[in-house]
Amino acid sequence: MNNGYASLSGLETPAAIIDTVPMHRNIKRMQARMNALGVRFRPHVKTSKCSQVVQAQREAGACGITVSTLKEADHFFADGITDILYAVGVVSSKLPHVLRLRRRGCDLKIVTDSAEAARAIVDFGAEHGEAFEVWIEVDTDGHRSGIRPEAPALLEVATVLHQGGARLGGVMTHAGSSYDLYTPQALEAMAEQERAGCVRAAERLREAGFPCPVVSVGSTPTALSAKTLQGVTEVRAGVYVFFDLVMRGVGVCSTEDLALSVLTTVVGHQTEKGWAIVDAGWMAMSRDRGTQKQSHDFAYGQVCGLDGAVLPGYILSGANQEHGILSREGAPDPDIAKHFPLGTLLRILPNHACATGAQFPAYHALGPDGGITQWSRLHGW
Amino acid sequence: MNNGYASLSGLETPAAIIDTVPMHRNIKRMQARMNALGVRFRPHVKTSKCSQVVQAQREAGACGITVSTLKEADHFFADGITDILYAVGVVSSKLPHVLRLRRRGCDLKIVTDSAEAARAIVDFGAEHGEAFEVWIEVDTDGHRSGIRPEAPALLEVATVLHQGGARLGGVMTHAGSSYDLYTPQALEAMAEQERAGCVRAAERLREAGFPCPVVSVGSTPTALSAKTLQGVTEVRAGVYVFFDLVMRGVGVCSTEDLALSVLTTVVGHQTEKGWAIVDAGWMAMSRDRGTQKQSHDFAYGQVCGLDGAVLPGYILSGANQEHGILSREGAPDPDIAKHFPLGTLLRILPNHACATGAQFPAYHALGPDGGITQWSRLHGW
């Protein structure tokens, strides 16, 4: 990790630290992979919600962005980004907001997975003289939303959109089930399932005479595991920019790729129990327990020194709102107070970067020279 | 709950709704109880982090506040509150911040549970000519920080503080284990254990010739279960102001007392699975799964109609970042799309009000007449 870490000792804790060296490496790695596979890359900005991070993704070659809320669309449109996909099924009550953005020049695309929602979109569009660009959400792994590639509803939705005057922009899917896998074989198979399902949906639309220029797939694990992306035009992924313990457990990154950590201070001990108390509780780490279902459960996070080097065997085993309990896995450490004296600064690797980042109004970005810059982060809706 | 709820339908979702009718009732109930028990009440503002909520607590009779971060102290001191307890063990690196607040006129009290931390406080105080007021944290249930009432360390810490010129303000404890109980008998016993342990620590200090004016105890469950608070001078509690599913599971409130909910919209269905998809995912609800270890697990929350009435048997069974999965407990509901049509507005009761509130930059406070006011909320450190 970063060697110029001494500057961190001047920060009040807890603080969210982005190590920009691995962050830039992660960005370049993903973009190079997408370039090699011959597809455009549309990062999901829900992970960082941060202008500087997204700027780095764009400079590396990203085409457009994916957002999870309309507030993100507002923010990044204000940053000058026009090609935006809002990747959550839209409902009537959100269409005025979508319309406002489009009227101001944002090329905002929306998604749907039902004829009823599609009808609401075209009705609202007709009322306001707007041809919304709509992508149909495809379900390739059964984990959440979308229409199965072979389902009759696919053509029904396309018909409603096309006849209603909307612009049928394409199909999109997200194989979120990939987060529950952990072997290269299973990940490669899921990537192929995601690709094949989405391409099949596009083919059905085209065979029926509908336009379907975009075929958009993605999740960090599948994006990093796909052997071919034939028929796919673009990929979306979010958490790859920081990675986290869950992604390491899935097997798509190593410890040195983890770019987000929480800086914390040892504020007390319960020596008899082998506990050090730190000032990163669940308010800082989030309540995400994503490694709980993986082969190695890190509770609320894995403990590193200020230099970012893992201190093997130490985890954040418990968390109250502003208190974290640091202990050794297995037998308690009777020398916990000697190993972690009062005032010691540590960095905790989080289970889930999207959830941990969200707990902070700003990141502290640590540059290769040890310089620290504050990067603000969106919060709320 | 509140009848003037129609105004909620104008909000973009997800949104954090405070029903002010039960909120004010909760505040009055707790304050009346404390008055009857003859103790001062110092609410913990970490739950709401909101000026308007804390103002209501003060108007009802609260004396001072408890904070979990120095940012809360900054904020509420700016609101005109001077009597503030920072209830997390303080370390050297935070003393300059504490000093700044005290120099500006904030009567900020700090806590410690070790001779080493106490020495750092008095050394820093001597260096800057400041007599900090310090309370000694007592461990009455083994759940986190503090010194056992009978431990030799108690007198050692007092000696360091007293001889070093700090003002020994008293003792404080928090029986957080009470969250894991669920019978009135067990809660009453824990309240008595908390009281007796803290009073015993105070007696030991006084017997040794130290001043100990304050004896401060508290958690919401113990505050609502104590039969006597003899020897206690003040009580602290936080989550009682909103309550939540965990507190209802503990048995210290009823559904009609729950003052915080998340307003959400149905954005899709997976009819075959009996799922409705809503726009409150874990980003809105938080990842807190506090009811998981209780007898009734509500996953990510219990589902209510827009009027706040529980829809029995429906829970938020799963959550992605901006997608919640609403389903029926037990057998899937084949008529889920009929029961929860696209665009339906619902209110989800959270597991843990402190965690869910933290996901929002502001609350929407619903008054008895149905009027909605936006109340901003602190975020970060």
pLDDT value of position A4:
74
Residues above pLDDT 70, as percent of chain B: 99
- Partners of A12 on chain B (C-beta within 8 Å) are 70, 93-94, 97, 381
Contact between chains at B268 and A381 (C-beta distance less than 8 A): no
User: What's the rounded mean pLDDT across residues B212-239?
Assistant: 98
Dihedral of the alpha carbons of A22, A28, A30, A36, in degrees to the nearest 10: -150
Sorted by sequence, the CB contacts under 8 Å of residue B80 that are 6+ apart come out as none
Please report, in angstroms and rounded to a whole number, the separation of the first and last CA atoms in chain A.
Answer: 34
- Return the sign of the alpha-carbon dihedral for residues B152, B157, B160, B162: negative
* Residue A345: count of CB within 10 angstroms of its CB: 17
What does the pLDDT read at residue A217? 98
Tokens 């941060």 found at: A50
Q: What is the dihedral of CA A314, A318, A319, A325, to 10 degrees?
A: -50
**Which residues in chain A belong to E strands, given as ranges?**
15-19, 40-41, 65-67, 83-86, 107-112, 133-138, 167-173, 214-217, 234-235, 260-270, 275-278, 302-305, 310-319, 324-328, 345-349, 362-366, 372-376
**DSSP codes of every residue in A332-351:** --TTHHHHS-TT-EEEEE-S
Task: Tell me the average pLDDT of chain B.
Answer: 97
Task: List the single residue in B14, B267, B321 with the smallest CB-CB distance to A46.
Answer: B321
Over residues B62-74, the pLDDT tens digits come to 999 999 999 999 9
A79 to chain B, minimum CA–CA distance in Å? 21
Which member of B68, B89, B269 has the closest CB to residue A321? B68
Across the interface, do A267 and B355 touch by the CB < 8 Å criterion?
A: no
Q: A380 vs B358: CB contact, 8 Å cut-off?
A: no
Q: Tell me the average pLDDT across B360-366.
A: 98
Asked if the peptide bond before residue B14 counts as cis, ω within 30 degrees of 0, the response is yes
pLDDT at residue A1, rounded to an integer: 46
Nearest residue on chain A to B290, alpha-carbon basis: A287
Pseudo-torsion of CA B216, B221, B227, B228, nearest 10°?
Answer: 0
- Which of A91, A322, A355 is the closest to B287 by Cβ? A355
What's the pLDDT band for B6 if we cut at 50, 70, 90? confident
What is the pLDDT at residue B24? 98
Q: Could you give the ipTM of this predicted complex?
A: 0.97
Contacts of residue B314, defined as CB under 8 A and 6 or more positions apart, other chains included, come to B302, B303, B326, B327, B328, B329, B333
In this structure, what are the phi and psi dihedrals at residue B251, rounded to the nearest 5 degrees?
A: 105, 15
State which residues of chain A have pLDDT below 50: 1-2
**Token duo for residue A296:** 């190695």
Residues in chain B: 381
Smallest Cα–Cα separation from A302: which of A311, A292, A294, A290?
A311
Burial letters for A84-98: b for 16+ Cβ neighbours within 10 Å, e otherwise? bbbbbbbbebbbebb
Under the phi-then-psi rule, with left for phi > 0, alpha for psi from -120 to 50, and beta for the rest, what region is B370?
left
DSSP state of A168: E
Question: Which of B49, B66, B92, B93 best probes binding to A when mutated, by most A CB atoms within 10 angstroms?
Answer: B93
Average pLDDT over residues B183-194: 98
Give the global pTM: 0.97
Spatial separation of the C-alpha atoms in residues A179 and A238, rounded to whole Å: 13
Helix (H) or strand (E) holding B265: strand B260-270
pLDDT in tens, B302-319: 999 999 999 999 999 999
Q: In this model, does residue B325 exceed pLDDT 50?
A: yes
* Residue type present at position B227: K
Our measurement of the distance from residue A236's CA atom to the centroid of its chain's CA atoms, rounded to an integer in Å, reads 10
Q: What whole-number distance in Å separates Cα of residue A123 and Cα of residue A92?
A: 10
CA pair distance A211, A194, nearest whole angstrom: 21
Alpha-carbon gap, residue B8 to B301, rounded angstroms:
19
Q: What is the pLDDT of residue A115?
A: 98
Whether the predicted pLDDT of B1 surpasses 80: no
Tokens coding B333 = 């509901």
- Rounded average pLDDT over B352-362: 98
Burial level of A10, CB count in 10 A (0-12/13-18/19+)? exposed
pLDDT at residue B5 is higher than 90: no
Nearest CA in chain A to B116: A342
